[in-house]
């Protein structure tokens, strides 16, 4: 498939590279390679001794990574979830030796723009939404079999969709006569089931987001990856996470806060903060895209970057 017109503009690029405080001879992992925008910026800051591993679930991202690996012997790519980062690290004997890890979570622009991937309600395609279409259940398969209560719960918790119950009921009623197989079919169903529209937001936005997060287990995989990433880092190594959704950012923020606080002892215990064995320290505050970046790339709108450094 030609990638013309399907570029991905990396978000918060300079902020991320600065946040990673690249060591030229260091060892880096990009857990969400995508089209390699961030990875190439990290490689540009590495010497010939530096090394970088890219991970992604998406076969199209892997093809781009394989082409880069042929061009640049410092780089390698592996198709897997970042939730299995520790396996990729152990295979290379990199445990406790990685100088920086980036997770730029969510979907890439090409995933949204290619109709066949089924991520977008604006494009007519099969209702798929899997980051790796060769693994797990597609959105259509899930919607064909899920209990109404489960669909409602997913729409409410992962999409904050207040009409979750009506939409879930409409899905279950519709599938009794014909299966839901396309993105436009689902978008039209949601539009019909929603009593009114939010300004500047298609009524299917929340439903698509919720189903995507659910079928890819995005929050569960993020939670698993954070601990593995911190474990993989060398002392002084950095972890940078860019999230695009408040539910994801909450997981990152809480995990970082708890790890930076250390052992959870009762407040009357006579210990100083460093005796609580914090595993990381926070580097600066959460960073959002500048006005200039937003003007050039509206998809950076909800991006939040958080960076931490491994202590011990």
Instruction: Enumerate binding residues for ligand SAM (CB under 6 A).
Output: 8, 10, 32, 34-38, 55-58, 61, 81-83, 104-106, 108, 131, 221
Q: Closest approach of Cβ 240 to ligand SAM, in Å?
A: 11
In the bound state with ligand SAM, the residue whose beta carbon lies nearer, of 31 and 203, is 31
In the bound state with ligand SAM, the residue whose beta carbon lies nearer, of 59 and 96, is 59
In the bound state with ligand SAM, the residue whose beta carbon lies nearer, of 18 and 172, is 18
Q: Closest approach of Cβ 101 to ligand SAM, in Å?
A: 12
- Report which residue's Cβ sits closest to ligand SAM: 34
Distance CA 274, CA 63 (A): 45
Q: Closest approach of Cβ 61 to ligand SAM, in Å?
A: 4
| H-run or E-run covering 284 | strand 280-288
Q: Closest approach of Cβ 281 to ligand SAM, in Å?
A: 24
Q: Closest approach of Cβ 86 to ligand SAM, in Å?
A: 13
3-state secondary structure of 269: coil
Per the CB < 8 A criterion, the answer to whether 87 and 228 are in contact is: no
| DSSP code at position 156 | H
Distance CA 245, CA 213 (A): 10
In the bound state with ligand SAM, the residue whose beta carbon lies nearer, of 108 and 209, is 108
| DSSP code at position 199 | T
SS3 for 64-117 is: HHHHHHHHCCCEEEEECCHHHHHHHHHHCCCCCCEEEEEEECCCCHHHHHCHHH
In the bound state with ligand SAM, the residue whose beta carbon lies nearer, of 29 and 171, is 29
């Amino acid at each position: 498939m030609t990638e013309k017109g399907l570029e991905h503009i990396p978000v918060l690029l300079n902020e991320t590279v600065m946040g990673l405080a690249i060591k030229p001879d260091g060892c880096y992992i990009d857990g969400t390679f995508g089209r390699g925008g961030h990875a190439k910026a990290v490689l540009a800051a590495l010497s010939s001794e530096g090394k970088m591993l890219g991970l992604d679930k998406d076969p199209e991202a892997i093809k781009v990574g394989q082409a880069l690996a042929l061009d640049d012997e410092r780089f390698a790519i592996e198709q897997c979830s970042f939730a299995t980062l520790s396996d990729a690290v152990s295979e290379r004997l990199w445990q406790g030796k990685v100088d920086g890890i980036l997770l730029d979570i969510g979907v890439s622009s090409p995933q949204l723009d290619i109709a066949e991937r089924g991520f977008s309600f604006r494009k007519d395609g099969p209702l798929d939404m899997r980051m790796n279409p060769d693994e797990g259940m597609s959105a259509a398969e899930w919607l064909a079999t899920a209990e109404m209560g489960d669909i409602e719960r997913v729409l409410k918790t992962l999409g904050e969709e207040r009409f979750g119950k009506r939409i879930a009921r409409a899905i279950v009623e519709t599938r009794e006569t014909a299966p839901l197989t396309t993105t436009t079919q689902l978008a039209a169903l949601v539009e019909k089931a929603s009593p009114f529209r939010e300004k500047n937001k298609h009524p299917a936005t929340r439903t698509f987001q919720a189903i995507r997060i659910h079928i890819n287990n995005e929050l569960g995989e993020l939670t698993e990856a954070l601990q593995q990433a911190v474990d993989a880092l060398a002392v002084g190594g950095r972890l940078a996470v860019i999230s695009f959704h408040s539910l994801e950012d909450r997981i990152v923020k809480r995990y970082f806060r708890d790890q930076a606080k250390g052992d959870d002892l009762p407040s009357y215990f006579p210990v100083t903060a460093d005796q609580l064995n914090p595993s990381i320290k926070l580097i600066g505050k959460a960073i959002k895209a500048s006005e200039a970046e937003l003007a050039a790339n509206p998809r950076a709108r909800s991006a939040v970057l958080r960076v931490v450094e491994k202590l011990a």
